[in-house]
Structures are given as C-alpha cells and as structure tokens.
A and B are shown apart, each in its own frame.
Chain A
Amino acid sequence: MGSTTEVSLEILSPEKILFRGAAKSVMMPGKLGYMTILPGHTDLIAELDVGILEFLPVDSNQSQKYFVAGGFGEVKGGVVRVLVDVVEKISDINKDRAKSAEKRALERLEGKSNDEIDYARALVALKRAQTRLSLI
C-alpha cells in the first residue's frame, strides 16, 4: 500500500499526459455516482460518466477541476489513474460551442424523433454540454 497521506495521481488521455503528481484526494464521476478517493483506498476499477474530475494537489489548498466525458478510473496500491478520451481544463472549455450543443440537444429531445439511440445520444450530448457550462 502507498502512503497514508497522499495518492499519486495520473490523468492520461490517448493523446497526452494531463497531470502526474501527488494529490490529497481525487473526486471522480463514477457511473453510479461521484466518488472520492482518499489515500489508502482499496483497489478499484470504475467506469466513469460525463462529469467533473476534481483533485487536491499536495502542494496547494486550491483544488483543480477538469471536465471529463467518460472513461475509466483505476486505483491500484496508492496509484490513481484516470483514463479518459476527452478531458478539458476549465480554461479550455469553449462556452459558445457548449451553448450551441446544449441548444441542439434540447431541440432534438423535444423533437418527435422516436429513435431510441438518437434519444440516448442526445441525452448524453445534453449532459456533456450542461456539465461544461456548469464549470464556467
């Protein structure tokens, strides 16, 4: 088991390493609800939903927030790995794009389309857009 006061956190996307360092706590958006990983957490592999990833770096009291659009989180012996395809810093979020995505998704949901898959996709798109907007 790792240290009892910190976990080592890696946030990885297929294209780059976003963060690598020690953290006091990590909160991630699990499929079944948000969970906070503290030092000494048992080994875990969880599927992540669209949501906010928040962690507290060891050397500061200011937590850092990222937008993530689904992926996987793994805890293994004091190492927390977050593997996500889409991850954005708050400063990288495009407000106008999120707004228009929200509008589009709402229109689609209100539309008369009976297609199950389209409905599910529009729901996810709406959630993505609203989560992004909530972070700005």
Chain B
Amino acid sequence: MPNLKDIKRRIGSVKNTQKITHAMKLVSAAKFARANHAVVSARPYGVAFEDMVGRVVVAAGEKAATPLTTPRGSFKRTLLVIVSTDRGLCGGLNSNLFKMVNRDVRDMEQAGIKVDVITWGRRATSFAKKIKLTSLGEREKATDKPKYDGAKVLAKDLVDKFLANNYDDVKIAFVEFKSALSQVPTIKNLLPVVSTEKKNLADAGQLQPVLEPEPTAFLGSIIRRQVEGVVFRTLLEATASEHGARMTAMDSATKNAKDVIRKLTLQYNRGRQAAITKELIEITSGADAL
C-alpha cells in the first residue's frame, strides 16, 4: 500500500493538471467559436465562386483550355500539401491524418508516382521528415487565424510550382471540419481544376452567359482565384478542426482527471481510516494488557 503522503501528493499533481486542461478547454472553446464563425461566413463566397467557375469553363468551351484546367493523361509526379496543427494536445487529430496520408503516399509510390510534399504546420513537418518525404517547403502558424492575403501567397506558390515543375496534380491533405465532435481527414484535389459542372453541359438549351472580357483573357485569373479560395477555406476548416478537437480532448482529459482524483481520494481516505483503526486497536490492546 502506497503511503498516505504519496497519495496526497499525487492528488495535488492531478488537480494541477486538471486546472490546466480545464483552462485549455475554455481557451479552445473561445477560439473554436471564432473559427467556426469564420468557416460559416466564408461558405457563401466559396459556393458562389465555384458555381461561377463551372459556368465560365462551360461557356468558354474548348478554346479556353489552360494548363490549370486540363487533366493529365498519366500521373508521374504529385505535389502533396499536408496541413496540420503546430501544437499537440488535440487528441488523434494529427495522427489520424498522418495515418491516412502515409497509406496514400505508399499507394501512390507503388503505382510509380513520385510524391513531393509541402507542409503547413509543425507536426506535419516532423511527420514528413520521419517518413522521409522530399519536402519543398514548410511553414508554421498556417492555421493561426488564417487571412485571405496569406492564403493568396500560399496559393500562388502552389500554382507556380505546379506550372514550373511539371507536376501532374496538386493535392491537399487536411482535416475536414464537420462539427466540434467530428473531424474527418481528407485529401482534396487542388490542381488541375476540373469543373464539376461538366455534367450540366447536357442542358444545351440553356442560354450561356455573356462573358466579358474574352474568356481567354480572364480564365487564368479566375482559376487562380479559385485556387486561392480553396486554400483559404481549407485553412479555415483545418483551424476549426484543430480547436474543435482540442476542445473535446481537453474536456475528456478534465473529466478523466476528475475520475482519477475521486479514486485517489477514496484510497487516501481508506488508508487514513485504516491507520486510525490500527492505532485504536493498538491502544485498546495496550490497555487490555494492563
């Protein structure tokens, strides 16, 4: 039986841990509320823009094909962006993502595709090093209150690398945000931009919109902007996922600490009671002996 002093000390230390996890939970809850709001406010623009790009691509037709919108016939090289958090203490958020990325990368390598990565977030950087992927760049604080201007710079870098290095596609791995309790690791295709509106082409009776200026003049810039938008929303989602996951993880850590404290307190009280009983027996048996 551990002695009473030890138990007391452990109770104290668990209580301190509980205070920390509780505080972290509150902080994450506040950050989560903000991140969630950002995701929701960014949605209308994203949906509207994607719809518009689809219509532009359809209306512009074949003559407006650019390298950014043409799917490649064969895949030899892929650029994969991994978006993770900088800090831990967010449950299985990063490890679930890395598990999926690892599987995916192995599959691609087996199919003869060379994969280069870019990492946004400290955890992703060390993960890429650990499984020995060729890294083209790393960044920290990508998910610290993402701003559109920042996303613009990141997106430009990706588009430039895509065009300059003959990548066949660019993918982005992140944790998609469903709700505070559910975050799903996802790999999304970023480039080339393949319109989802192609299927609506059958609606040939529908009047095509007037494009101004000539579609060839602005298709490049509209696709770039689309990529910027997707990168921005990806960062927002990753941020919301991070805070949501941390909030849940810290909540269960706080609950767990409470359980541990309860058990230790019980043990401590029992020990104390046993000691008292023992002393009483000693006294009474001593008195009997007289």
Contact = CB atoms under 8 A, between A and B. Distances in A.
Interface in A54-113: 71-72, 74-76, 81, 83, 85
A32 interface: yes
Interface string B21-46: 00000000000000000100110111
A134 B113 CA distance: 54
A83 B218 CA distance: 14
B148 interface: yes
Contacts of B59: 45
Interface in B85-102: none
Nearest to B215: A45
B41 A72 contact: no
Nearest to B42: A14
B280 to A, nearest CB: 72
A83 B221 CA distance: 13
A15 B148 contact: yes
Contacts of B208: 43
Interface stretch (B5-13, B48-56, B124-132, B244-252): B48-56
B213 A10 contact: no
B207 interface: yes
Given A10-B44, A12-B45, A13-B45, A44 B209 contact: yes
Given A10-B48, A72-B222, A47 B212 contact: yes
Interface string B115-143: 00000000000000000000000000000
Given A83-B49, A85-B148, A44 B210 contact: yes
A71 B152 CA distance: 14
B20 interface: no
Interface string B195-212: 000000000000111111
B237 to A, nearest CB: 13
Given A14-B232, A75-B209, A81-B48, A45 B55 contact: yes
Contact of A15 (B38, B56, B212): B38
Nearest to B56: A45
Interface string B232-265: 1100000000000000000000000000000000
A83 B212 contact: no
Contacts of B209: 42-45, 74-76
Contacts of B218: 31, 47
A75 B152 CA distance: 26
B210 A45 contact: yes
A46 interface: yes
Contacts of B228: 14, 85
B229 interface: yes
Contacts of B232: 14
B52 A32 contact: no
Interface of A: 10, 12-17, 30-32, 42-47, 71-72, 74-76, 81, 83, 85
Interface of B: 38, 41-42, 44-46, 48-49, 52, 55-56, 59, 148, 151-152, 207-213, 217-218, 221-222, 225, 228-229, 232-233
Question: Which 3 A-B pairs give the minimum distances between C-beta atoms?
Answer: A43-B209, A12-B45, A47-B218
